[in-house]
Amino acid sequence: MAMLPILEFPDPRLRTKAALIDPAEVTTPAFQTLLDDMFETMYDAPGIGLAASQVDVHKRFMVIDVSEEKNQPMVFINPEIIEQEGGQVYQEGCLSVPGIFADVTRANHIIVRFLDRQGQPQELGTDGLLAICVQHEMDHLEGKLFIDYLSPLKREMVRKKLAKARKHVA
């Protein structure tokens, strides 16, 4: 397995809309290895979700594990939210926007249709943290970041804060 570089805001590649995956690709050894690499990268970061777009693979899939023990890995391929209801405010962060957290309103309950790791069609109704995470990662697949829900002024403050942090690291 290999660690993958995670793109960081304001990298323009994060704004790329991901393409659907051919279901025949799902069971290939190369794709399965990529999924393993994404889980390793996500766990190491540490994070609870990682969209392919964040590792510069612009295809519609993501990996998620919201368990405390990090032992419930989930793969969502070509995900589509088919139902959503309610709304909740949740403080979100993002591996592509390190060190920044902000309140975002998301649907409280969703039903998502997707292919699993074996390419089998699934439908999952969920709420709470998993619902928030699915919506957050699906935004990445559309080229959208959680900071897009912030005002332009706050978004600019985030950009400047990250640029300053990168200067201190360099």
- Residue 40 burial class via C-beta count within 10 angstroms: exposed 0-12, middle 13-18, buried 19 and up: middle
Task: Respond yes or no: is residue 25 known to be catalytic.
Answer: no
User: Which residues does the annotation place in the binding site for Fe cation?
Assistant: 94, 136, 140
User: Among the residues of 45-151, which ranges form H helices?
Assistant: 128-141
Of 68, 80, 123, 137, the active-site residue reads 137
The single residue listed with the structure tokens 């697949």 is 141
- Residue 167 burial class via C-beta count within 10 angstroms: exposed 0-12, middle 13-18, buried 19 and up: exposed
Catalytic residue numbers, as ranges: 137
